[in-house]
Amino acid sequence: MTERHQGATDDAGLVRELAAGSEAALGILYDRYGDAVFAAAYRLTSDRGVAEEVVQETFLTLWNRAELFDARMGSLAAWLHTIGRNRAVDRLRAAGRRPQLVALSSSAVPDENETQALERAVAGGTVMAGAVQPLGPEEAAAAADLRDAIRTAVAAMPDAERTVILLAYQEELSQTEIAERLAWPLGTVKTRTRRALLRLREALGAEFGPSAELDAVPVRTGQDR
């Protein structure tokens, strides 16, 4: 995707450019909504592999069916979200699984309130069960801010520390398994794990950071390499 984009910046304009064959427009729309489609698919399926495929199929559908998008009928975010959700549910049905129950706030797209999200879900025949709403709008927004803070901190941390965090959380490897995978000494993995965790907790702020009542635990440097 080396094409440089100098055209529209709004969603509708980008979709029109995409329909005319602009890869750059597709790339911009991926940057704008790719993460959200992935996150929603992962929440439904609890499977990162399936979520990746859902993202690919969703943007393939956008490319192939761009003419069907009508901004007067709803936002592009909602359209992509519906496509992604349907693809995820297809996968789960085929595998004989049920979607994870997720809060409505989790399925709402960025420019939707919960009522709009519910109406869209009902209209699409996608509501399978009701559930107690665990978070209010302000709490949901705060949770979204925390997620953004974590992602930013992960992106900014040194490569070695990011690697152990991703292997620990995304692949659910133990520190011993990470050491074997990367051929690092176990002590090095532990050191980097603790450093990474400390960085992330600090990014989350006082509520989740290390207790102020305790002195910072020194992280030994001799084990690093």
Does residue number 19 form part of the binding site for other proteins (CB under 8 A)? yes
Least Å distance, CB 149 to other proteins, is 8
User: How far apart are the two ends of the chain, measured CA to CA in Å?
Assistant: 37
Q: Which stretch binds other proteins (CB under 8 A): 69-77, 113-121, 128-136, 174-182?
A: 174-182
Q: What are phi and psi of 57, to 5 degrees?
A: -70, -35
Does residue number 187 form part of the binding site for other proteins (CB under 8 A)? no
Q: Which is nearer to other proteins, 115 or 158 (CB)?
A: 158
Among 192, 220, 198, 219, CA closest to 210: 198
Q: Interface residues for other proteins in 64-83 (CB under 8 A)?
A: 64-65, 83
Least Å distance, CB 57 to other proteins, is 7
What is the rounded distance in angstroms from the CA atom of residue 210 to the CA atom of residue 49? 33
Q: Which is nearer to other proteins, 70 or 180 (CB)?
A: 180
Least Å distance, CB 177 to other proteins, is 8
Q: Which amino acid is at 48?
A: R
Q: Which stretch binds other proteins (CB under 8 A): 8-16, 71-79, 132-140, 197-205?
A: 197-205
What angle do helix axes 23-45 and 76-94 make, rounded to 10 degrees?
50
Does residue number 154 form part of the binding site for other proteins (CB under 8 A)? yes
Residues contacting other proteins: total by CB under 8 A: 81
Q: Which is nearer to other proteins, 96 or 130 (CB)?
A: 96
CA distances from 222 to 95, 159, 164, 188, 196 (A): 48, 19, 18, 9, 17
Least Å distance, CB 9 to other proteins, is 16
What is the rounded distance in angstroms from the CA atom of residue 53 to the CA atom of residue 118? 25
Among 196, 165, 206, 199, CA closest to 182: 165
Q: Interface residues for other proteins in 91-150 (CB under 8 A)?
A: 91, 93-95, 146-147, 150
What is the rounded distance in angstroms from the CA atom of residue 55 to the CA atom of residue 26? 13
Q: Look up residue 67 and give its DSSP letter.
A: G
Least Å distance, CB 22 to other proteins, is 4
Options 72, 130, 217, 222; binder of other proteins; rule CB under 8 A: 217
